[in-house]
Amino acid sequence: MSKLIKEIMDALNAVNQNKTEPYDRRGEVKRIEGKIAWVKLEGSDRETPVQMTIACEVGDTVQARIGGGSAWLTGNLTAPPTDDKKANQAISMVTNIAETVQETVDEALEDVSSVDDVSVQYCLSDSSSTFVQYGDWSNTPPTYVSGKYYWTRSVIEDDEGNVTYGEPRYSQDTQLSVETDIAFKSNNNHFWYDSSGAYVTTQDKSYATGSAVRITASGILQQVNGNTVSSWTNSGISFLQGGDTVASFGSGGANFYDSSGSVFSIGSTGVTYQITSNGQVRTVLNIYDDGYKAHIAGKQYTPLIVDYGVKTDTVMSDTYYVGSYKLLTIGTISGTHTVAGSSYENKSAPISPPTGYTPIGVIGWYFEGTASTYCIMTKCHINGNAVAYRMRNTSSTDATLNYTFYILYVATTQGY
């Protein structure tokens, strides 16, 4: 016992005589990174990186030796590496002696150069098992290079400005962090869920089962059992069923579809309802801020049509006459008008009534020609022997309209 105390005192004296000699300190393990244990040494308010020359865990009380600008573990007081009785007794003896001479040790350590700053540097390597330097060491992780691996080393600077570099260590945590960040920032990601659970994959393929959210350069796609069910892009949002769009929303408004291709649209210019019949899309209803109109088979009719057996495409057995004239008859007038782009214009189409008749109403009309699909009839009525109407051109291009009006006439002459 006295011999061991003498050896320890000799060691302390040597420390006092030579301030560069290694010294031992106890501390608590706060965290572990690879082969480096970060230990809060007694008498220090910061954590010191210590090489794990023996096994330890967070929370263990360990013995560290510091010298030459580096530190390494010399013992684990919480979990000794052996259960040998003599070893345990020796640890207990050293602990008691250390407590006895603690004051002397503290005084000696005040004159020993201490660690002033600790940092970590990063570098790429060609291998994860052997350090083959690729590029320079830096204080932040360098840009990822496919097939390369991240290594780290500790940088310890003492009060006198002396810098000591630790041994390079492969950093799996840095590797996974950078690769995960790259995967999330990729323009081809799948967030996937199936019987194996939820995960992220960069595979560019359609899955036959399961649910996925795919992030691409154009937007976000949702997929169920290999079918896209929704699309979220800068131009709008679409919902699909069985590969067909059932609803879409964008800056121009909302559109709804059914299995036959019918669509109901709500936009800044009004409400439109269309149907698809025999492969042809037909608008059956347009509602605008200044009126409404109904469309049938490409022709436009007033909401109420009175039929006394005089429609040109119908033969009636019961026909009424005023003298020799049918009570009601239908005729057409045709012509051409031009409507300037992005404007409202009042127009007038002359009527030449048949002999014995007077025009009483417009029951239909038809327009075709350049930009005619952008033109909207907002008002229409009989004004003497003319059709007065107001046309709105929603296109910036001038519209050339070839028009046909269907005029309802009433007999005003006996005709005997």
Q: Which among 211-215, 367-371, 382-386 has the top mean pLDDT?
A: 382-386
Contact residues for 271 (Cβ-Cβ < 8 A; gap 6+): 264, 265, 285, 286, 287
pLDDT tier for residue 26 given thresholds of 50, 70 and 90: very high
User: What is the number of residues in the chain?
Assistant: 416
Structure tokens at 348: 């007038």
Whether domain 1-112 has CATH 2.40.50.140: the reply is: yes
Q: What pLDDT, on the 0 to 100 scale, is given for residue 168?
A: 94
pLDDT tier for residue 15 given thresholds of 50, 70 and 90: very low
Tell me the C-alpha distance between 306 and 309, whole Å. Answer: 9
Report which secondary-structure segment, H or E, holds 140: none
Helix (H, G, I), strand (E, B) or coil at 123: strand
pTM beyond 0.85: no
Tell me the C-alpha distance between 8 and 97, whole Å. Answer: 8
321/204: higher pLDDT: 321
pLDDT tier for residue 309 given thresholds of 50, 70 and 90: very low
Pick from 9, 12, 16, 73: nearest CA to 41: 73
Distances (CA, A) of 161 to 19, 119, 127, 297, 363: 16, 14, 33, 91, 99
Tell me the C-alpha distance between 317 and 311, whole Å. Answer: 13
pLDDT tier for residue 336 given thresholds of 50, 70 and 90: very high
Distances (CA, A) of 313 to 135, 168, 310, 403: 87, 94, 8, 20
Q: Per-residue pLDDT for 85 more than 90? A: no
Distances (CA, A) of 109 to 5, 50, 74: 19, 18, 18
pLDDT tier for residue 234 given thresholds of 50, 70 and 90: confident
Break the chain into its structural domains and give their ranges. Answer: 1-112, 115-184, 186-251, 253-289, 304-411
Tell me the C-alpha distance between 341 and 325, whole Å. Answer: 44
Q: Per-residue pLDDT for 277 more than 90? A: no
The alpha carbon torsion through 297, 300, 302, 306 (nearest 10 deg) reads -50
pLDDT tier for residue 313 given thresholds of 50, 70 and 90: very low
305/27: higher pLDDT: 27
Which architecture characterizes domain 304-411 according to CATH? Sandwich (2.60)
Average pLDDT score, the chain: 78
Taking only the tens place, the pLDDT of each residue in 29-77 is 999 998 899 999 988 888 989 998 888 999 999 999 988 778 889 888 8
